Amino acid sequence: MICGLSSNGTLKILKPNTAIAVTEGTPQMVEKQRSEWTSEDKKKSNLDNVAKDILYKTLDKNTFSKIKMCPTAKEIWEKLIQICEGNEQTKENKLSVAIQKFENIKMKARETLSEFDERFSSLVNELAALGKELGNREVALKKMRALPRE
């Protein structure tokens, strides 16, 4: 059994076309009729529905509303990547903003050391997630400079 995607993104169960003789290469494939499906074909056909169900159950209402019109699990996944990570320009913009925040970070007047440390660590983690790796020395120096003189 071979699977393929139709033009609208739904899964098709394919079989070799026996009406055409193949002298070399791979045989031409045609869609199997539902009446010809084996139990394995039926399981494979349902995989997209299972994947969509899993994705639907893990999303909040806001995100779900953005992907509910996607017909396949693959399209849902691609849309989620676009929503969460963005395109290359979005990633570059996020990185630029995070770098600027890192360069300008200072401990606030009424902020505790643990609050500042949490905010600082979160920013370092954000930079790492965006592909900007900072050395331990650079992080330590920046943290020391960000503290008030007192």
Mean pLDDT of the chain: 86
Of the candidates 91, 57, 77, the one whose C-alpha atom is nearest the C-alpha of residue 67 is: 77
The DSSP output letter for 33 is P
Global pTM reads 0.51
Cα 102 from chain centroid (whole Å): 26
Residue 9 has a pLDDT of 57
pLDDT tens profile 61-102: 999 999 999 988 889 998 998 888 777 888 889 899 999 999
Extents of the domains making up the chain: 2-85, 88-146
> Strands 2-5 and 29-31: what pairing?
unpaired
pLDDT tens profile 28-64: 888 888 888 888 888 888 888 899 999 999 999 999 9
Residue 53 and residue 25 in contact, taking contact as beta carbons nearer than 8 Å: no
Is the confidence at residue 20, as pLDDT, over 80?
no
